[in-house]
Amino acid sequence: MVNKSLFRSNLTTLLLVLSNFLFIFNYKIFVGLVIFLTIMIQREIIQLKKSQGYLLKLIPVSFYSFNLLSIFLANPRTSSIFWDMQDFLHFINCNSNPDTTYIYKFISDERACVMSIGYGPISNLVSASFDIWQMTLIIFALFALISIYILFNVKENIHLFTVFLISPSFNFLVNSLNADIFVFLFFIYLFNKKGENLSLLDLICLSFLIQLKVYPIGILLGYLFYYLKNEDMENAGKIKIIFFTSVNFISLFYFFIFQESTVPGPLSYTRTFGVYHDYLLVTNIIGYKEVVLIISFLSIVGLILYLFKPSSLKQFSLLNLEGDLLIKKYFIFFPTAFMINIFQNFGYKFIFNFFLIYIIYISSTKINKSFLTILILSQTTYYLIGYGYENNYLNNLFLISSKLLFYMFFIISIYYYFLSLKKNK
């Protein structure tokens, strides 16, 4: 008689080993296998042993090692890497010497200095002179080491952190090495910080990031709302955060209104997202006819589920937010994610939803956890579809599914915010 437990354990090990190199051959199958494994873990169909946990954590390391080595060791080298960080560091060098030109790795694209790269006002004030490529590699190495350290020190929900790290949005962040990494790391620090009090140093660092990337003003607003709403907070703390919020708003207002500066507004099928982004995509490219057909189809599917399998829909209403600290964190982190989701952004900014997803995940039913797993791995369809969008049934299926999952999460995240608002009374 076959030992079912032993068979299941051996099969799990085999699938974990496959997950560590399957991306070399087929990215779509790799994503599908990770989703399958994660759902099996969520439903407690498989129990990971210690060695299997290490195999699971090794997946992001294997994934990025292969991707980066395939670019660095390619002959000839035709793909760029860390382009956003090179762009940012080039701009800083240009502030020191406006005649600076730079040839981007590895595409031999020589660029002169530009007036703006779409960052905040402080990007125009920081100037330095250094080797751009060497500094880029140093920043990447530090970011990689911090990410690996966090991954291998996680004790619970290992599968969720693995999914985060191999997600298309995080992959996009690694490949571009956008300066959002600085904001993301600081947000991780704030998320793990005990208590809700911001020190003077915290506020100074946060203000620097706001003046660099603008959207971190959202988390400052989150703290401001929390301070004003919480009667237990000291008046000195409230005055301090009101002061920093006011100064940051005035600076940004002057920069964008009086200096007529702008932030990037990218628009594409596969590399960008956001409510306003999708509105522009529909009005300028797709057209309303196709959208009406999609909404009609989804409405019919929803009606069928409601009539014949209402329990499947009820699962999504069984949402609960547990733990006072997590409720407070959700209340504070929500404004940033909402600002990003409502506008138009490159796909790597979806990572700022990870903080909300984590809180929702640990408070959710099994079906909601499966939904969140698929959501994370489906946003930014660039890696599923490719650079050029080819209009075929499979690509349309990926794109429509990605959008549907995004808007479902968008609505759920707002619901959770009002829930956190209620529980913070």
* Per-residue pLDDT reduced to its tens digit, 290-325: 666 667 766 776 677 666 666 655 555 556 666 677
Which pLDDT score, from 0 to 100, does residue 305 have?
A: 61
Instruction: With H, G, I as helix, E, B as strand and everything else as coil, classify residue 266.
Output: coil
- Say whether pLDDT at 358 is over 50: yes
Cis peptide bond prior to 98, omega within 30° of 0: no
Q: Quick check: helix, strand or coil at residue 126?
A: coil
Mean pLDDT of 8-33: 90
pLDDT at 423: 67
Instruction: Provide CB contacts within 8 A for 143, sequence distance 6+.
Output: 174, 177, 181, 185
The Cα–Cα gap between 267 and 274 comes to 10
Q: How confident is the model at residue 56 (pLDDT cuts 50, 70, 90)?
A: very high
Q: How sure is the predictor about 1, in pLDDT bands with cuts at 50, 70 and 90? A: very low
Helix, strand, coil percentages in the chain from 3-state DSSP, rounded to 5: 70, 0, 25
pLDDT of amino acid 298: 66
| Separation of alpha carbons 14 and 129, rounded Å | 50
The answer to whether 366 and 400 are in contact (CB under 8 A) is: no
Of 36, 18, 30, nearest to 383 (Cα)?
A: 30
Mean pLDDT of 42-62: 89
Give the integer Cα–Cα distance in Å for 411 and 391: 28
CB atoms under 10 Å from CB of 261, counted, come to 19
Q: Is the pLDDT of residue 209 over 50?
A: yes
Asked whether 118 and 92 are in contact (CB, 8 A), the reply is no
Task: Give me the DSSP letters along 288-335.
Answer: HHHHHHHHHHHHHHHHHHHHH-HHHHHGGG------HHHHHHHHHHHH
Q: Distance (Å, rounded) from C-alpha 392 to C-alpha 322? A: 43
Q: Is 10 exposed, middle or buried (0-12, 13-18, 19+ CB in 10 A)?
A: exposed
User: Is the pTM above the cut of 0.85?
Assistant: yes
SS (H, E, C) 45-96: CCCCCHHHHHHHHHHHHHHHHHHHHHHHCCCCCCCCCCHHHHHHHHHHHHHH
